[in-house]
Amino acid sequence: MGRETAEGGTLYSKKVRVNAKLAFEDGIVETVVNGVCESHKPYTKGDFIVIGSRGGRYAMSSVDFAARYDLIHPTRSADSELADEGFQLFLPIGKIWGHQLTEADISEHFPLDQFVGRWGGICNVRAGDIIALPSPAADEIYAIPQNLFDQTYQECTATTDDTEKQYALGIHDKRRRTKRSQSARILGSQEF
């Protein structure tokens, strides 16, 4: 079982890479999903254009993108047309708090079966969808259909988190040991 928040949300990490590209000039991105335009959003030079799990394009600020994806190790997009447009595959590093909506949640919190997202688009919700907030910021809310969520997210477990911590600590300890060993060599060559 994953770690639960007091509100009942579970911590998840994205398990699939996303196609994205850096915007080199200002523009407007139109998010079209299943033939329906969900939003028009202006973006500025330096933002990222991301292709979502349902194929729609959306804009994300470079700050938000850097908090959620590894900027250092992108790979060429597997889709040659997207690669020709400048898209690359980025590994997700961010986490979300997720909660599966019930009929009662919809009735209480979303009586019109929708809400307006931070980007200005209408988000439709139904029972079974996952309502998500980025962790730890929780500065926006969005809905993910259950079938899409299952394909793209995995629950964070103590094992996953411990492995990440051990990896980070291992790198940190290795650097510290290297610096100590270099310092010992330098100090060892000096006479007191």
DSSP conformation letters of 65-114: HHHHB-SSS-EE-SSHHHHHHT-EEE-B--EEEEEE--HHHHHHH-TTSE
Domain ranges in the chain are: 10-156, 157-192
Indicate if the pLDDT at residue 134 is higher than 50. yes
Mean pLDDT of 138-164: 77
Q: What is the pLDDT of residue 8?
A: 63
pTM over 0.85: no
Average pLDDT on 184-189 reads: 34
- pLDDT band at residue 56 under the 50/70/90 scheme: confident
